[in-house]
Each structure stands twice: as structure tokens, then as C-alpha cells.
Amino acid sequence: MLLLVGQAAHASEPLDIAYLRLTDGYWQAWVTDSQGSKHKQITRSPIDKTRLSWSKDRQELLCNRNDGSIARVSVSNGKETRLTLPMKGMLDAQWSPDNQWIAYSHSPEASPDTNDLWMVRTNGKDLRKLNNKPRLQLMPSWGARNKMLVYTSGTLKKRKMDIWTLDLKTGSKNQLTASAGLKFDPVFSSQGDVAYASNQNGNYDIWMIKKNEHQPFALTDTPAYEAQPSWSPDGTRIAYYALIDGKRRVWVKDLSSGKAHAVTPADSFSRYPAWGH
């Protein structure tokens, strides 16, 4: 059943922004359109969901759960199918653009302050460790055509986290940021630009690095806490989480006009948008 919010969406407006909403005590997966005009609850199981990504046909979501498991979820009926994978305790899992692979981070039990990056086929085969570095490697996100990952790496103890890319064919790594502060939630656009959240200016804003350029710049600059960006399919807008006046909502910003609007209700807590491509 659709929950109507605000004005009716155009008939052609797809429900292609997935997000997490606190619902009856659990973080559940929902979907909405880019105007926030319609909302549909997808998951209902009594466990918190932590991160989402879409199948390429937008018929399923890959859903992280707070027990470290991963499930495929039907958008049409909400059925959750737990994946049989060779590891437990997986974090930040994201489907590759062709849905053949899952990239994720994992913390060895003996090293709680170390997270490594891994990838595995969706069918549970071909498990691969992607790095052999100390410190945290978190939040992998895929580039187009399965060739690149962007992720955050560093140490929370020293309050220093930066954005890196990994070429999956050559194994080469490239550091994109080198400024003070923490950077999280990096994501590629379809054009190869990178958006991420950073507190390098004191509070968390959304930042961007254009493809083949090295100078980050802020996409948002407000006193609010803004993080967890997700690109629109054409790279002209971003969905993101913002905490404004105690309200935890998902917003969409048009990068040409600079205008932003909330797409989730003010009377509920929402976070972690994932725009289907």
C-alpha cells in the first residue's frame, strides 16, 4: 500500500530512491520518488536494516542487516531472501552495477580497529580480499562497469579518514583527499565524479571531486549535519541525509539550481538514501 505524502507525483515518476525509515522500532527499507510524493514500505522483518543498494532492473534491493547478514529483497512484495555467503559480520555491502558481485567491509574478530575490503559473487563464490593495509577500510561503492571502487580509509583514533579509489583490474589505489578531518560515504556518479561527506570545515557537509580533478568543493554548506549522498542516474542531483532542527530526513538537491527539498516526512526518522540507476 502506498502512503501518499504531499502532492501527487506525476504518473511517470518512478519510486527509485530507497531509504531507511524508523518504523515500529526498526529501521526498515522504503522507497519514494524524487519529489517525495509517494512512499512504499518494502521490508517488515523485526531486524534493523543498515544499508541498501539496487538491482540493475530496480526489482530488488540488496539489504544489509545489523546482524551482519545480507538479503535480497523484492520491491514488489517485500520478500527477504538471505544470501548464503562464506563470511559473517559483513558491513557496507553494495551490489555491483551488473549485480554479479558484492563489495563489503569486514572486521576480523582479533582486530576490532581494522576493517578490510572484500568482494564476492552474489552466489557466494570467488571470495576475494581487496586490500592488505592496516587501519580502517570502509564503505566501498562501485563505479560504472564494475571497474572501480571508491572507499574511505584511515584511523578514527587520529581523526583522519580520506577517500581512495581502487582499480579492480590492476589493483592500483589512488588517494583522492588529503585534508584534515573525517570523510565518509563516498559514491561515484555515472560520469565518474565522487561525492562524500566530510567535517573538514567543522560540521558535516556533502563534498564533491570531479573526475580527473583534484580539488574538492562543497555541495552543501549549512549548519546542519549532512551526509550519506547518493547520485541520481544522470548525475545532476544528489539525495542525502540531513539532520535539521531535530528532524532526520532525506533531501534531494539539484546541482544546477542549488535548490534542495525534503523527500521524506518530517514526523519520522529517515536516512541512507540509495538512488536506483
Q: What is the pLDDT of residue 110?
A: 62
Q: What is the pLDDT of residue 194?
A: 98
Low-confidence ranges of the chain (pLDDT < 70): 1-12, 109-113
Domain boundaries, the chain: 2-275
Q: What is the pLDDT of residue 12?
A: 65
Which residues are CB-neighbours of 265 under 8 A, at least 6 positions away? Answer: 5, 39, 249
Q: How many CB atoms lie within 10 A of CB 253?
A: 22
Q: Which three cell numbers stand for residue 100?
A: 554479479
Give the pLDDT confidence of 20-60 residue by residue, as tens digits. Answer: 999 999 999 999 999 999 999 999 999 999 999 999 999 99
Q: Which three cell numbers stand for residue 83?
A: 544470501
Give the pLDDT confidence of 70-102 residue by residue, as tens digits. Answer: 999 999 999 999 999 999 889 999 999 999 999
Domain at 2-275: CATH architecture:
6 Propeller (2.120)
How far is 159 from 23, CA to CA, in rounded Å?
33
